[in-house]
Amino acid sequence: MRYFTEDHEWIDVEGSIGTVGISEYAQGQLGDIVFVDVPADGRELSKGDEAAVVESVKAASDVYSPVSGTVLEGNTALTDSPDLVNSDAEGEGWFFRITLSDESELDDLMEEAAYEAFVAKL
């Protein structure tokens, strides 16, 4: 199941593992992405913590963790190819995988239809 935050992060949840990235909308707002700094493996994050940094030709932006947990892995492919976020923000351009420590935090996030309605109002 995929969930979204109001800050335009997404998380795909399979069991107790979440894969996190930024939405197509966020990527479109940033423009051409030139650098991504993903969190280190084993890093403990609380919901809302700054987890990653993404820089584009327009701006730098923090990426926040949509849930609390432990980082399993950062997407090291983004180090050499940050443009993966431009071409596939909601797929191969994922930022990190995290073990969820409190699955009830997902209740505060939007499902895809609610997120699309949220973005349509922006």
CA distance linking residue 26 with residue 39, whole number of Å = 19
Domains of the chain, with CATH numbers?
2-101 (2.40.50.100)
Instruction: For the chain of 122 residues, list the mean pLDDT of each consecutive stretch of 10.
Output: 97 98 97 97 98 95 98 97 97 98 97 98 96
Q: How confident is the model at residue 6, as a pLDDT?
A: 97
Q: How confident is the model at residue 71, as a pLDDT?
A: 98
This prediction's pTM? 0.97
87 SS3 class: helix
